[in-house]
Amino acid sequence: MPNDPSTLVAQSASVPLQWLDMLVLAGSVIGTTAFGMWISRNRKNTTDYYLAGKTVAWWAVAGSIFGTNISSHHMVGMMGAGLKEGFAQANYEFGAIFGLLMLCYFFLPIYRTMGLYTLSEFLGHRFDERSRLIYSITNMAFLLIQMVGTMMLGALTVATLTAGSPYSISYEMAVCLLAAVAGIYTMYGGLTADIFNDVVQSILLLIGSGLLAVLAIWHPNVGGLSGLLDRQPEKFHVFFDASHPQLPWTGVLSGLMVMHMYYWGTNQFIVQRTLGARSDWDARMGTITAGFFKLLIPFLCIVPGMAAGYILAIDPRTESDTAFAGLTRTLLPAGYGLVGW
């Protein structure tokens, strides 16, 4: 398809993926999956499977919350949002601090005191089985919708990175591979595998995105933060006008906060990480530390996305989701394993 965004970005990229890049890419996926399955090999009961035996340290709670929320699809989406809208998209990250604080000091003491395995249990105890069933159904529907978006953005990135190389992976094949890998280690290893895969993934994403952000922001076409500010000062506003169609400041301080309270405080796949903590202190410290990591995202994703408009020949309105893969292929030298990283 001549108008396929991944094809357009691949054509503008400098050097196709080399064998070492592909080896690092495949090795990191296989290695983290195997590590998660190995570390969960001794699980013996339901508590081990659903709550990692309640032995999770604070740093693992923090890394898992961060990795669960961020992952590659978040990096792709936020970088595209930065290219399209500007720094005001950082409100999604700043608002997350409110949601995490609500989890830490309001919801978490209740959940851990009750000894819950799932949040549907809470509704069953507090109200009745009908509430428990409705929450389970709606939560599964929400996760299904989110997984679809995750697979689409992840597959688009893989297809873009490998396009034009001898190791090209189609969009459809990338979706199948991503789904298979995630399903295998989650079903086999339970929460322990999820948590430690999230921690490894968080480390890889922070290092890789940090390197990409430096190369993008200080690219000769951009000139650093000061150069970017001189070029598009209007995109550095933290809030949009109340009349903005996508992100008015009134919505940021009202409805968006409600969404953050739901996502961080009553969302099964986020809260479950804190339920597996070995102590209340570990749960709280891990939650707060994850909030500090969230403050890095505007500078690791959104600002580099704003810079992408001066580095890549892409249309922000229709190709914003290809900014991450386009910058990776354009700025990171192929053949050294950095693209695969």
* pLDDT, tens digit (0-9, with 9 covering 90-100), for 168-222: 778 788 878 877 777 766 666 566 777 877 888 888 888 888 988 999 999 999 9
Report field, pTM of the whole predicted structure over 0.95: no
Confidence of residue 22 (pLDDT cuts 50, 70, 90): confident
Residue 281 pLDDT greater than 90, yes or no: yes
Higher pLDDT, 138 or 102: 102
Confidence at residue 176, expressed as pLDDT on a 0 to 100 scale: 82
Give Cβ neighbours of residue 311 (< 8 Å, ≥ 6 apart): 216, 219, 221, 222, 327, 330, 331
Question: Which candidate, 197, 218, 172, places its Cα nearest to that of 311?
Answer: 218
Query: What is the mean pLDDT of the segment spanning 289-301?
Result: 92
Question: Which candidate, 236, 168, 210, places its Cα nearest to that of 331?
Answer: 210
User: Rounded CA gap, 274 and 65, in Å?
Assistant: 8
Quote the mean pLDDT of the chain: 81
Which tens digits make up the pLDDT trace of 23-69?
777 777 777 777 766 766 666 666 666 677 788 899 999 999 998 88
Give Cβ neighbours of residue 101 (< 8 Å, ≥ 6 apart): 288, 291
Q: Give the three-class secondary structure for 338.
A: coil
User: Rounded CA gap, 237 and 144, in Å?
Assistant: 34
Residue type for 25, please? L
Instruction: Report CA 75 to chain centroid distance, whole Å.
Output: 6
Give the CA count within 13 Å in the CB-facing half-sphere of 208.
25
Residue 98 CA: distances (Å) to CA of 65, 123, 131, 178, 257: 15, 23, 26, 32, 7
User: Rounded CA gap, 274 and 7, in Å?
Assistant: 41
Helix 171-217 × helix 323-331 angle, to 10°: 60
Architecture of domain 5-331: Up-down Bundle (1.20)
Positive/negative CA dihedral, 210, 265, 59, 116: negative
**What phi and psi, each to the nearest 5 degrees, are found at residue 56?**
-80, 125
H helix and E strand count, the chain: 18, 0
Which tens digits make up the pLDDT trace of 67-113?
888 866 677 888 888 888 889 989 989 999 999 999 999 999 999 99
Quote the tokens at residue 53.
């035996």
Quote the tokens at residue 297.
């995202």
Query: What is the mean pLDDT of the segment spanning 286-311?
Result: 92
Residue 315 pLDDT greater than 70, yes or no: yes
